[in-house]
Amino acid sequence: MSLVLQHVSKTYNPRSAHPVRAVRDLDLDVPDGDIIALLGSSGCGKTSTLRMVAGFEDVSEGTITLAGKRIDRLAPARRGVAMAFEGYALYPPLNVEENIGFGLAREGGLRRGTDTRKRVHEVADLLEIGPILDRRPAGLSGGQQQRASLARALARDADLHLLDEPMGQLEPQLRAVLRGRVKALIKARGLTAVLVTHDQTEANAMADRIAVMEGGVLQQYGPPGELRDRPVNLFVATFLGEPPMNALPATVQPGGLRLEDGEGVHLDVPPSALPPVGSKVVFGVRPHRITLGQGRLHATVTSNQWLGDQAHVAMELGDRLIVAVAHQRVAAAVGSRLDFDFREADAHVFDAESGRALLHGNQPA
């Protein structure tokens, strides 16, 4: 079901000398049947947001609506929300099967006519914990506990599924397999889900839209491609992408930009999109968009790594580091000079002071 957060804020210890403003004025609209990812660094307010939606934390300000109904004052059990917790929160005396089944028997846990045992086994098999259904949480590894907690949430027929770092403990191979299966299950059952993750690959792979948060503030909310190609600010631009976007100081000149790279390369940019001549800006280009071997810019190679399927080449340009990614090996020794270039269409320009995006390729931001 669709979820709408309006002006939601969370302040912990509001009357103390050190209130913590964990979430600030958050607006978020999750359409029915979508998976959205909350992505951001540690402490940015992801778990606080989920806990307010689930009802384990009061909202300090704002409203939360699920399927058109205000839920922010309802008790957690009455919200129709299933949550997989960051700390798993399994019931110690129950075995894995009972943990997953817990809540299914209760009203609202399963649609009428659904076979509880069958549902538990289906979800357990999907997450590869079928063989440990008779074990208690104390006898499980961290990754097994985490999957039991995820299974318990996914087994339920809730209006909304909240998944807080549901696969953070798993090794990359298993994680990659499970994220495909979990997404397929969510889509097949038509569930609406909010997934919290640190892992941008997971967010890109699973989410219809990604919400990037920083310091309790939503920075941008949109489909993965939009965040990649049209980041609203320098934070989003450099937070997403592996390796991150290169950022170089530049100055607006008549008809374009001058990169402060020691050589002063001029870039043609439509002047209408730029602040007045002389303004300081930041020029950005993604590592995958740099072509090596020839071009207008020249830098000194500081490392050249072949990762099995791609080369990461780091270069010093003035006092800045630039990273380029190539899909073949690059013949460039550390210490050698390397020419490189990029297309104007792949350039991004940001305001140096606010970080706000001014230009993406040839289009104003």
Between 196 and 235, how does the x/- string for binding to ligand ATP read (CB under 6 A)? --x-------------------------------------
Burial class (CB in 10 A: 0-12, 13-18, 19+), 226: middle
* 48 sits near ligand ATP (criterion: CB under 6 A): yes
Token code pair at residue 237: 């631009």
Q: Are strands 81-84 and 160-164 parallel, antiparallel or unpaired?
A: parallel
Measured distance CA(68)–CA(55) in Å, rounded: 17
* 22 sits near ligand ATP (criterion: CB under 6 A): yes
Which stretch in 36-44, 134-142, 231-239, 269-277 sits in contact with ligand ATP by CB under 6 A? 36-44
Which stretch in 85-93, 175-183, 303-311, 338-346 sits in contact with Mg ion by CB under 5 A? 85-93
> 47, 95, 149, 238: which one contacts Mg ion (CB under 5 A)?
47
Q: Residue 316: enclosing H or E segment and its boundaries?
A: strand 311-317
Token code pair at residue 170: 């798993």
* 43 sits near ligand ATP (criterion: CB under 6 A): yes
Residue 105 to residues 74, 100, 116, 268, 278: CA-CA distances in angstroms? Answer: 21, 11, 7, 65, 68
> 37, 44, 140, 338: which one contacts ligand ATP (CB under 6 A)?
44
Measured distance CA(188)–CA(160) in Å, rounded: 15
Token code pair at residue 3: 């979820």
Residue 19 or 131 with smaller CB distance to ligand ATP = 19
Which stretch in 80-88, 170-178, 180-188, 233-241 sits in contact with Mg ion by CB under 5 A? 80-88
Question: Could you say which DSSP state residue 16 is in?
Answer: S
Q: Residue 102: name its binding partner from Mg ion, ligand ATP, none (Cβ under 5 to 8 Å by kind).
A: none
CB 357 within 8 Å of CB 231: yes
| CB of 165 vs Mg ion, minimal distance in Å | 6
Q: Rg for the chain (alpha carbons), in Å? A: 24
CB 39 within 8 Å of CB 211: yes
Which stretch in 46-54, 58-66, 113-121, 223-231 sits in contact with ligand ATP by CB under 6 A? 46-54
Which stretch in 43-51, 101-109, 240-248, 279-287 sits in contact with ligand ATP by CB under 6 A? 43-51
Query: What are the φ/ψ torsions at residue 51 (nearest 5 degrees)?
Result: -65, -30
Q: Residue 45: name its binding partner from Mg ion, ligand ATP, none (Cβ under 5 to 8 Å by kind).
A: ligand ATP
> 2, 6, 20, 229: which one contacts ligand ATP (CB under 6 A)?
20
Where on the chain is the footprint of ligand ATP (CB under 6 A)?
12-13, 20, 22, 40, 42-48, 86, 198
